[in-house]
Amino acid sequence: MKNEFIVKNARVIDPSRNIDKICDVMVADGVFAEKVSAKAKVLDAKGLVLAPGFVDMHVHLREPGQTAKESIATGTAAAAAGGFTSLLAMPNTSPAADSPASIRLINDIISETAKVRVYQSGCITENRGGERLAPYGSLKKLGVKAITDDGSCVQNNELMRNAMEYAKMFGLFVMDHCQENTLTANGQMHEGEWSVRLGLGGWPSAAEDIIVSRDVILAYYTHSHIHLQHISSALSVDIIRNAKRRGVSVSAEATPHHLSLTDECLKNYDTNFKMCPPLRAQSDVDALIEGVVDGTIEVIATDHAPHTDTEKDREFDRAPFGITGLETAFSVCHGVLVRSGKIKLPKLVKLMSTRPAELLGLDAGTLKPGTPADFVLIDENEEYVYSNPLSRSENSPWLGKKLRARVVQTFLGGKRVYIKK
C-alpha cells in the first residue's frame, strides 16, 4: 500500500517550472506524483504557500570536534525549522574534511543523526592550510560535491589556479571565501566611520574585492567555474556583474545578514553582530540588494555559524566571528526583499532553493513529479518572536525580535520533519 497524500488549496510556487498558482500537490512513496489514489489523505493548506524545500549551500554544523557549538542533529533540526531540506556543510571541522577518513566519519554521523539531507564539502587544501591540495579524487569517490577552504582563503595564486583546474577534472564545484589576509590581520569590523568611532580594527572592503578579482581572472584563464561565498562589498558585486557580462563562469551568494544589517549595528559592541566578512555600510547593503534584483547574486545562503554563549560573551576583539541563521533566513529575506517590493516571492524561492540546487547538481529545488518530495509550507503573514532556537547556540542578532513570514511545516521525502509549535 502506497503512502500517499494530497496538499490542497496552497499557493504553489515552483521556479523550476515557472509555476505560481493555487493548485494541488500530490505525493506518493516519498516523491512528487502526477496522480494518487482515491484513498490518499488530504492536507488542507489554504492560505499557505507551498514551495520546494530550501537548499543552503553554506552551513557550519561543527561536527566532528566542535559539538559544544552545534551537532549535525541539532543543526539539521534548526534547518528543518527554517524550511531547509538540503544543506552543504562546510569543511572547517576538527579534524578538517580533507581526507577519506574524515569524510567517512562525517558521512556516518550524517546517516545516523541528520534530520534533513546533508552533503559534506571537502577542503581545497590539506587542513585548510593553503599549502598542499587535498586529494580531490578520493573525496569525490566518497560523495563530496564541492570544495572550499571556507573560513580561510587560499592566498597562493598558483595553488588556487591548480585547484580550479584539478577540480574541473573531477567535476567538483569550487567555492571560495574571499579574503586577502594581509589587509585583515587586525580587522574586527568594517573599515569606515563606525570602526573609527568604536576604536576597533578596520576590515576594508578591498580585502574581499582583491580576491574576487583574482578568482574571476583565474576562472577566465582556466575556463572553470568559481562560486564566491558571502559577498559583502559593493565593488565586489560590480566586479562579478561585469565578469558575467564578459561570459566568465562565476556565481555568487549573499547572506540574510549582509542584506539587512549594517556596521552601525555594532555601536553597542554586541558580539552577535560580529561576523566574517563584517557587516558593511548601507551603500554596500544597497548594492547587494541591487545585485539580487538584477541576477548578479544568484543564491542566498545563511553561513550559519554557531558559537557558544561563553565564546561570544567576552571582549569584542576576543569573540569569534559568526552568527546562526538557519531558523530566521526566510523571514529576514522576505522582509528586506519581498515585503519591501524589491522582488517577488518566486524569485526569493529561486534564490533559496532552485538555483543553489542547480549549481550543486542536487535532485532538489523543484516540485517536479518523480523528484523527492521535499517541500515547505509558509505563512507569509504570520508574525512571531524568534525564541527558543533549535540550534544548540543562540548567537543570533534576531533572538527575541519580532519577525514576519514564517515557515510552519517542512517535509522531507514526503515525511513531516518540522511543524511549528
Of all residues in the chain, the percent with pLDDT exceeding 70 is: 100
pLDDT in tens, 120-158: 999 999 999 999 999 999 999 999 999 999 999 999 999
What pLDDT does residue 120 have? 98
What pLDDT does residue 142 have? 97
pLDDT, average across residues 90-111 = 97
Q: What is the pTM of this model?
A: 0.97
Active site residue 303: yes
Q: At the fourth CATH level, which superfamily is domain 53-365?
A: Metal-dependent hydrolases (3.20.20.140)
pLDDT in tens, 256-310: 999 999 999 999 999 999 999 999 999 999 999 999 999 999 999 999 999 999 9
ω into residue 95 within 30 of 0, thus cis? Answer: yes
pLDDT tier, 2 (very low <50, low <70, confident <90, very high otherwise): confident
At CA 254, angle to CA 167 and CA 378, rounded to 5?
110
What pLDDT does residue 235 have? 98
What pLDDT does residue 200 have? 97
Q: Which residue has the cell 545563511?
A: 302
Rounded to whole angstroms, the Cα distance separating 161 from 112 reads 37
Residue 80 reports pLDDT greater than 60: yes
ω into residue 277 within 30 of 0, thus cis? Answer: yes
- Joined together, the cell numbers standing for residue 61 give 554544523
CB atoms within 10 A of CB 379: 18
Provide the sign of the torsion angle of the four alpha carbons 170, 371, 348, 402, taken in this order. Answer: negative
Q: In what order do the strands lie in the sheet with 299-300?
A: 146-147, 173-176, 226-228, 250-254, 299-300
Give the 3-state secondary structure of 50-95.
Answer: EEECEEEEEECCCCCCCCCCCCHHHHHHHHHHCCEEEEEECCCCCC
Catalytic residue (one of 209, 303, 374, 379): 303
Q: Do domains 4-48+381-387+394-419 and 53-365 have the same CATH topology?
A: no
Domain boundaries, the chain: 4-48+381-387+394-419, 53-365
Rounded to whole angstroms, the Cα distance separating 85 from 116 reads 5
What pLDDT does residue 255 have? 98
CATH of 4-48+381-387+394-419, one of 2.30.40.10, 2.60.120.1440, 2.10.109.10, 2.90.10.10: 2.30.40.10
pLDDT in tens, 341-394: 999 999 999 999 999 999 999 999 999 999 999 999 999 999 999 999 999 999
Please say whether the beta carbons of 58 and 150 come within 8 A. Answer: yes
